[in-house]
Structure 1
Amino acid sequence: MNHAEVLVDAFERIKGVVHDTLDDIPEPALTYRPDADANTIAWLIWHLTRVQDDHVAGAAGSEQVWTADGWNSRFGLPFDDDAIGYGQSAEDVSAVTTGADLLREYHAAVHAKTVAYVESLSAADLDRIVDDNWDPPVTLGVRLVSVVSDDLQHAGQAAYVRGLFERS
């Protein structure tokens, strides 16, 4: 297994959890909150997809799927186009009331772009510095692993919230 196959496998696992969480989900589950400040499934999946879209596009030097393909308009959220969820309030979380189909389709589009990008990389590309605002500077390999880690955590949280909803 080479570097690209490992990364593709990791991103496939994220897609699997996202799709499993959204499959046959009751509409009220998407905005269910275990408490007033908890993140919802809709917000968690929107956020993890936005992070992936933002970070991969930044590393690739390309426009995000969010704006390039008009997902920002389809979602109709009251946020700036560059919002990815960091630092958002409980009120912001409640603004994401998107249906499962739209969340799944946006995630699939970002996933496809991510896989195409990762498959185009050489092993040497992973050592390229993509962010010199940190010490040490962040390489492409570190950035991609960071996205995988963040996305898997949020996907797991969404699956957990679905379980809480189903037990409530």
Structure 2
Amino acid sequence: MSAPTEQTVPADAARPTVDPRSPRFGAAITAVLLLIVVFLGVAGAGIAALVLLAAIAALFAWGAFAGVRRHPYGALFRRFIRPRLAPPAELEDAAPPTFAQLVGFIVTAIGVLVGLLGIAPAVPIAAAVAFIAAFLNAVFDYCLGCQIYLLLMRSGLVGRSPSAG
């Protein structure tokens, strides 16, 4: 019997799934990058902070619109990390982490836009907010964006997207 892969879909569902360790891996990389943005912004290197935050926003957009399974960090995880790990106990629905990428994109894009308007403190503030979420996901396996997604689903404001992957 072969080990489950991120392309494996449980028999009871036809929606994309993901190894739950993959988004955590991406969150760890993102947290480090966001912390660098905070330090650059506080240290007065505003242009460098703005450029790096814009790159991070683009990565969030990639994950939000192409899906977490197509994100570059997911590819790194599948290529270099996953082969060294035991198979996951179970796969998770890709929709909540994909929605979390959208939340990260919104937060960082607002920071970039306001920073471009000349309000320099917006860049490290947006990066700090996004850092908290990425840190919680990477270290404690607590995904704020996923929790927001689940709350929105329970309230009926968002439906399950079969293409969120």
Say whether the fold is shared (TM-score over 0.5). Answer: no
What TM-score do you get using the length of structure 1 for normalisation? Answer: 0.33
What TM-score do you get using the length of structure 2 for normalisation? Answer: 0.34
